Structure 1
Amino acid sequence: MTSTRIETLSLTDGRELRVTIAEPDSAVRGGLVVLHEARGITAGVRSLVSSLAAEGWLAIAPHLYDADRVHGDDIRDQVSKLSGDRLLEDTDVAFVWLGQQGVGADRMGVVGFDIGGTVAMVVAASRTIGAAVTVAGPGILEPLSDGLPALVDVAGDLTCPWLGIYPDGDSEEVSKLRDAVISSETASDVVRFDVSSDEAWTRALNWFDAHMR
C-alpha cells in the first residue's frame, strides 16, 4: 500500500493547515483533494488517500478540523461550526499545492465522503476544476451549518462535472437533488449504490478518468 505523510501548509490568514498526502509510485495522472467524513482524518480516510495514490492520483486530504479526530457530541459541535468560506480557503490551499507539483487545473478533482461530500459539491459550484464526486453528502435540503448552503441551492451553479453517489434506496431528498442538478450547465449525475461497494468506487474513478484528461 502506498504510504501517506502529514505536512503543514501556510494559509494567507496566518493559519496553518495540516494535510495528509500520498504520491503515486508511477506517473501522475492528476491530483485529487480528498475531503474527510464527520469524524475527521480516520484510518479509513488515510487508506482512501493511499488507494487513490495507488491508482496513479496525487492525493491530498486537508484536515478540516483543528483536531484530527473527533468523537461523540464533539462531532455535532464541529459540524455546526463549519464555514463555507473557511472550507473553500482550505481546499484552495490544497489545489495550490497540487499546482506546485505540476498538476494543471483541468486535472484537479475533489472527492468527499459524508460531510466531505457536502463540501465537495460546494467546491464544485464555486471553483473551476476538472471534476468532483460526492459520496453520501448530507445537507441536501437543510444546511449542515449556518455557514454552508443546502446542496439543492447550489446544484444549479455547478462549474465542473459532478457525480453524486448516494445509498441505495428510495430517497425523496436525493430525487430532489437529482432534479436540481439538471439545471446546471455542466455534466452531472446522481446514482444510488451501496456506497461501500466496489461498484461505487469504480464509478467514482471512472468519473475522474472521463472528465480529467
Structure 2
Amino acid sequence: MTKSQWIKLKASDGVEISAYEALPDGAPRGGLVVVQEIFGVNGHVRRVADSYAADGYRVIAPAIFDRAEPGFEVGYDAQGRDRGVALMQKIPGAKSMLDIAAAVEALQGVGKIGVIGYCLGGSYAWLAASELPIDASIVYYGGQIGKTWDHKPNSPVQGHFGLLDTHIPQSDVDKVRIYPNVEIFTYQADHGFNCDERSSYEPASAALARERALAFLRRHIG
C-alpha cells in the first residue's frame, strides 16, 4: 500500500514550493518526477503519482504554480482552464525547470530517476531530458515540443500524442523523431486523452500509453 504526503522543496534560487510525494510499499525501484498540467497538482495528478508509487517508484509531483499562487488546484472546466493559463503566463519556464530540478535533487539516493509530464508538464519533461541529470523522460502531449525540438535529449525519451489533437500538429511531433533515443507513439485520441476527468479522455488509448510508459520505465529506471 502506497503512502503519500505533502513536502517542501527549495529550488536553487531559494524559492520554496510544496510537492506531493507518494512512496512505494518497500524499497523503491527508482525515482519519478510527475509534472502537472495547467490545473495544478490536483486530484488527477495525485492519482497518477499514487499509481506509479504502487508500481514501485518513489514519486514527487512539484507544485510549480506555487511561485504565483500557492495551493493552486482547479478542475477541467473553462474557468479552471482560464485560471491555469493565466498562471502559466506569469511563471517563466526557466523557473519551473528549477522546481523540477529540485524534485530530481530530492530523489537522489533512490537509484535512477525519470520525469513524466502531461500537457504543460509534457513540455517540461521534454526539456528535462536535455537540461537535467535524469535517466529517462516521458512526454504526454507536450504542446511546446515544436518550438523546443532542437533541445537534443541526453536521456531516452518516450512520447505520447493524440492524432486528433488540434493543439499539437503532427508536423511538430515529427520533428523529434530524428533522435535515435526518442520513441513516439500516436493514438486515435484528442489532447488530454490520459485524464479521466477530461471530456477528451480515451480509456483504451490511456491504458495502452500507460502500459508502454511503465515498460519504458522498467527498461531505463528499474
Q: After TM superposition, is the score higher than 0.5?
A: yes
Match of 2:139 among 134, 140, 149: 134
8 Å contact from structure 1 (residues 166, 174) kept in 2: no
Are positions 1:209 and 2:218 aligned together?
A: yes
Match of 2:155 among 147, 156, 160: 160
Give the 3-state SS of the residue equivalent to 1:38 in structure 2.
coil
Match of 1:92 among 101, 110, 116: 101
Q: Which residue pairs with 2:27 in the alignment?
A: 27
User: After the TM superposition, which residues 32-181 of structure 1 pair with which residues of structure 2 at under 5 Å, given as runs?
Assistant: 32-66=32-66, 67=70, 68-70=72-74, 71-99=80-108, 102-104=109-111, 107-141=112-146, 150-154=147-151, 157-169=152-164, 173-181=168-176
Count matched residues. 198
Give the 3-state SS of the residue equivalent to 1:75 in structure 2.
helix
Code of the residue aligned with 2:90 in structure 1: it is: K
TM-score by length of 1: 0.84
Q: Distance in 2 between matches of 1:172 and 1:92?
A: 27
Are positions 1:192 and 2:186 aligned together?
A: yes
Which deviations, in whole Å up to 9, do the C-alpha atoms of 1:126-168 show, x marking residues without a partner? 1231100011111233xxxxxxxx23342xx111100110114
Q: Distance in 2 between matches of 1:83 and 1:172?
A: 21
Q: Distance in 1 between matches of 2:87 and 2:56?
A: 32
TM-score by length of 2: 0.81
> Kindly tell me: are residues 78 and 109 of structure 1, through their superposed partners in 2, closer, same or farther at Cα, counting changes over 3 Å?
same
Moved more, 43-52 or 64-73: 64-73
8 Å contact from structure 2 (residues 3, 24) kept in 1: no
Code of the residue aligned with 2:135 in structure 1: it is: G
> Kindly tell me: are residues 139 and 11 of structure 1, through their superposed partners in 2, closer, same or farther at Cα, counting changes over 3 Å?
closer
Give the 3-state SS of the residue equivalent to 2:123 in structure 1.
helix
Q: Distance in 2 between matches of 1:88 and 1:170?
A: 25
